[in-house]
A and B are shown apart, each in its own frame.
Chain A
């Protein structure tokens, strides 16, 4: 019997689509699915989770104080507690920004193997598929141990409805408030209303071809018109035109949007490592002989300063 526990992420009081996709993935090979919710359970959440195949919903009953509830070290102890109480032998969570700060903590406390950024996982055999060498390779990995953990890449699997009756339970646990790691503050400010790179359908990215910080606003304006997420090559980040959070590549974000529009980006091996899994790549470059132009779906040879304003004008 494979008892899978799934760490659920919420957004604006709703279960994230990417969490539902992870439930679908787990449901293919697990015997029972337990959703672990950190923010309290409402009827809406219960209905939503049971519609996608969750059998048991656990309220991890974290303390109310936000700086304690949101401390990933506190969350990790709650997940570990639930895993032990409910005898879960598979634990899944998203390989999202929050997940990258939570799942390895759980794995370390349980001394259990963990594979991050899985695009596929078989909970019966304990195998997972993930990228290696910064997106240059795909590897199949065998996990062994009592409890196996999987960090699932957001959007790797699309949610499929599979209604089952679900019961809810509350964990009773005295939250240990750690003294050695205190969360002082969280700042969510600077991306309000902007699409997150990992979840965007369209990404429009700019590189050295934008030439300076002022010009880079062209990428932001275009992104807004296209309802796309703006992104950048490392050069644009190193030059100080955009913050590091926008960097795509080997040492930046790994993205797989439906469409990636690369503007004034040559297509270094490190940049490709972050976006080669895009469904469609459109390259806008004045030089035909660049790697980006050779490895895209649509080559747009020309001056980005002429083409991008035209796109905005015509929309």
Chain B
């Protein structure tokens, strides 16, 4: 099987984000692989164990330094990486077109794994757009995956503990959710080995990508800070509990 995994290079989830003007963030914070994409790579590695002749190719659209995210994918088990280099912030319509073109240029996919969303732009849609461009079926927020006889049986989570189970024909696109697996934590030898694995860099202009018929562009951005002034609730536990109940009833008016 040819397993493609799309990975994105995003600011560390623990980083505080600051603006340099009203549209761009200060990108000197650490960047890592998008957390949901770690689940996608981990699942790809599990599939390869199950179907030995498989190859895992990690594909990333990003700046030059996104190479470190591809290296992480290689350390986690991908065989090689493709970096489509661009300095532009791409919306999901363009990103899907570029990833689609990069995968076609590289070979044919039997399965394409992505994260269910990226933690920076929170678009939740690139996987569906890739699927539409290939005319492959798509599911998202996958929590279980089983491949038998050219079919994928996928359990997907809706919020609130509800699930949906699908059967997809291959090739297909699967957006990984957190319930899918526990991300591989590469060992030191894995990291060393990954340094010898190839990463091909392709300029975005080298891929013949047609313009999307629409776009989404950030016109302004502001940090979401909610300044709160804590007041103390003191006393014995019983007094504290009574005061909490009073606040819920009289101030927040959420309790009768």
Residues of A near any B CB (own CB < 8 A) = 73, 96-98, 100-101, 103-105, 107-109, 111-117, 127, 130-148, 151, 178-191, 194, 196-198, 201-202, 226-227, 243-247, 250-253, 258-259, 261, 268-270, 273, 276-277, 279-283, 293-303, 306-308, 310-311, 313-315
Contacts and interface: CB of A to CB of B under 8 A. Distances in A.
A270 B178 CA distance: 15
Contacts of A190: 161-162
A148 B220 CA distance: 19
Contact of B237 (A111, A191, A247, A307): A307
* B contact face: mostly helix, strand, loop, or mixed: mixed
A262 B218 CA distance: 33
Closest 10 pairs between A and B when the two form their complex, measured CB to CB: A145-B214, A310-B241, A104-B125, A108-B132, A181-B137, A306-B237, A97-B158, A245-B161, A104-B128, A108-B128
Nearest to A183: B166
B172 interface: yes
Contacts of A101: 139-141, 156, 158, 164
Contacts, number: 274
Given A100-B140, A112-B214, A138 B119 contact: no
A18 B128 CA distance: 25
Contacts of A247: 178
Interface string B75-101: 000000000000000011100100000
A29 to B, nearest CB: 17
Interface in B185-231: 212-224, 226, 228-231
A31 to B, nearest CB: 21
B120 interface: yes
Interface string B217-256: 1111111101011111110011011101101100110110
A141 B216 contact: yes
Given A186-B164, A198-B159, 19 more contacts: A108-B96, A108-B128, A113-B93, A113-B215, A113-B216, A132-B122, A144-B215, A148-B214, A186-B163, A194-B160, A202-B255, A245-B159, A252-B178, A258-B254, A280-B252, A282-B244, A298-B231, A298-B232, A306-B237
Which of B11, B230, B252, B255 lies at the interface centre, i.e. has the most chain A CB atoms within 10 A of its CB? Answer: B230
Contacts of B131: 108
Contacts of A306: 237
* A contact face: mostly helix, strand, loop, or mixed: mixed
Nearest to A307: B237
20 contacts: A73-B137, A101-B164, A113-B91, A132-B218, A134-B13, A137-B17, A144-B217, A181-B138, A181-B172, A184-B165, A186-B163, A186-B164, A196-B159, A295-B230, A297-B229, A298-B230, A298-B233, A299-B231, A314-B238, A315-B245
Contacts of A282: 244, 247
A151 B139 CA distance: 18
Contacts of A298: 230-233, 244, 247
Contacts of A137: 17, 19, 25, 221-224
